[in-house]
Structure 1
Amino acid sequence: MADQLRIGILGFGTVGSGVLRILKNHEPKLNQVTGTTLKVKKVLVRDLKKQRGSIADGVELTMDADEIINDPEIDIVVEVMGSIDQAKEYIKKALTAGKHVVTANKDLIALHGNELVALAKEYNCDLYYEASVAGGIPILRTIVDSLASDEIQKVFGIVNGTTNFILSQMTNEGKSYSEALKEAQELGFAESDPTNDVDGIDAARKMVILTRLAFGMNVELDQIETKGIRDLQQEDIKMAERLGYKIKLIGSAIQSESRISVDVGPILVPVNHPLASVQNENNAVFVVGAAVGETMYYGPGAGELPTANSVVSDVITVAKNIRLGTSGNVFGSYQHETNLAEDTKVFNKYYISIEMQDKTGQFLALTKLFSQFDIGFDQIIQQPLSSDMAKVVIVTHKITKAQQKELINAFKDTNEMNLLVCFKVMEGN
């Protein structure tokens, strides 16, 4: 075991600077935990002239990634750039060069994780990515280590801090979607182009990773039914509260009879459920196992130091593996044939909002439309919109996804009823 392990960091943005800060500030503890000295030798930057303060003292800065990847003294490469194609190229080069890799890149791992895992195994290198899901929450290591002996049945929760911040502002402050989004952007929680967050793409990519580790199944992004929050109105927030719910963007992976159903979208969460109280940019993930039952993991889903802490925890694991001579590890070796649940086997209650003409016989027509697909009502609320229009909100009994899809298609064929939204409803504890 070397007295010192040298690290190269690809990227010196928010997370990269946080990684360097933790490695320097917590050095005495890290040395004891790993049995060696962890030393950052080089950092890839975009601008050598930019002032970075004392945090960069003693560290070589470079604009050439090959200076890190091809440096024979560097043992571990930390990738915190945030791109996909370029980061993939660098990580492949690093693994091929025999260097262990730690990354926080959820997009890369979701899209190309299997390829990189295979390459890491081929070259007997470690590849870890705890920070790719839920920032500072150690959810991946919990699934693959602490819950390794259990049969996981469900993984679901709030895995995108940007949308949770927006929904918190809409719920708690009565702001519109556009007002809440603007504030999220001003505070740095949302990008200038928020598409990946508000359309549910970011959450879906995280569910790809969680599904892979929890169930051993490789689900493609286009196999995950994904809805965002762009169409959410303040009226839906208030109506949900009236019915005893709060609306959250939830990623969900559920296994039943060795088949899984994975989706992302706004869900009505009962106000007494712990997820309903998760506010602002925080994340929370529930894991339900056959043995352990229901467990919840809560904390900051992003941010410089929380995310960097997860990165450094992976670095510690790599250092320990090197010390023990057990390198060549990746997150989760459990694999299972990917079996997606049929729509007729997936059951949920649904919140459905409809705009329709307020005239005699129209409600009867609505009832007949639902009964056509054997869908019953759990709750119904009707509100006048104008002299001749009404809004009807229905919470259904539990129905299959197949029934829900048939109903949505039927609304497309009617001129007098306009389907506004259709959200899943989570059952209470």
Structure 2
Amino acid sequence: MTETDFRHTGSEAPAFPQDRTCPYQPPKAYTEWRGESPLTRVTLFDGRPAWLITGHAEGRALLADPRLSSDWGHPVFPVVVQRTEDRGGLAFPLIGVDDPLHARQRRMLIPSFGVKRMNAIRPSLQSLVDRLLDDMLAKGPVADLVSAFALPVPSMAICELLGVPYGDHDFFEECSRDFVGAATSGEADAAFAKLYQYLHGLVAKKQAEPGDGLLDELIARQLEEGELDHNEAVMIALVLLVAGHETTVNAIALGALTLMRHPEQIEVLLADPAAVPGVVEELLRFTSVSDYMVRMAKEDIEVGGTTVKAGDAVLVSITLMNRDAQAYDDPDVFDARRNARHHVGFGHGIHQCLGQNLARAELEIALGTLFTRIPGLRLAVPLDEVPLKAGHDAQGPIELPVTW
């Protein structure tokens, strides 16, 4: 075991995260980090050193290890994105808290995101996807697949599920985009404040006039019974609304782009509807929309013969775990017939994505229908002209011009 003092400046370690140059491939520097060791040292924007976990087995073990903390409110919790450096101890429900608080919040929501309920909404998802494609085809090429299709699918779906008026979608989509893509903490705070105020009013309205959405159920089951207060209800609503469409937008767009760039693989999807779920799982592995997960060690932990010390920043690389040759043959090859089980596109452990069943339903219906109806879909611009989101954001194209 090596005892590594990791409390120096880390200036000799490469910067993390880095931007992709190909939408569905890791940044070029990342390939150099896939060596014999399952972890490597990197440097965050503020000069803080961090451990980057690159091994599939080691990453899964750590994501299930209670010695790693997700508590964003901890005064020395690592900050990866500059816009969040002045978060003032604010910890977001579900994603930024540890057990037992995390477990209590998750228990409130698990019944609403089960497989049975997600299967029940598949017909409405199919109807939504058909309408959007009808509109896109009626307008004719060229279309931006993000704004015309990839964004409204999860946005409408999460609104229907939560009971949020879709008529307000332009407002909360803009706030969400500004919040997760802000360049400064001031811009992020301003977007957060607007979104919080909107949801504060919506929760109050639902208390007075209950509907039949997930938020209405949460208010009836938990808020009225004193299991959570108004602020926590608003914050849970905010996390679900933003997370419920932000990552899935990118997954649909990036999945469509990957298939367009691998047209021979589209035949797998078209040949048998039963193959669609497997294609989606391989896309989730191959594209890794969520590039990394941030943690802090609460105790010393041995990883691959190295000691990660208490207080160290730990970044678990979803991208590199999903490209680990120890877990997958030819991991840099997109193979629609691959059995991609055990990928970590939705994370792992207690913080594994609560909405993964909804995301899978959206991806399977959106991508399966898209290429069934427009099998000749193709990029309308060269690949290197597709504008991409920064490395610290959920990965995906900002716009995706397509034709047919």
What's the TM-score bracket when you normalise by the shorter of the two chains?
A: under 0.3
What is the TM-score normalised by the length of structure 2? Answer: 0.22
Q: Which structure is higher in RCO with an 8 Å CA cutoff and minimum separation 6?
A: 2
What is the TM-score normalised by the length of structure 1? Answer: 0.21
The higher radius of gyration belongs to 1
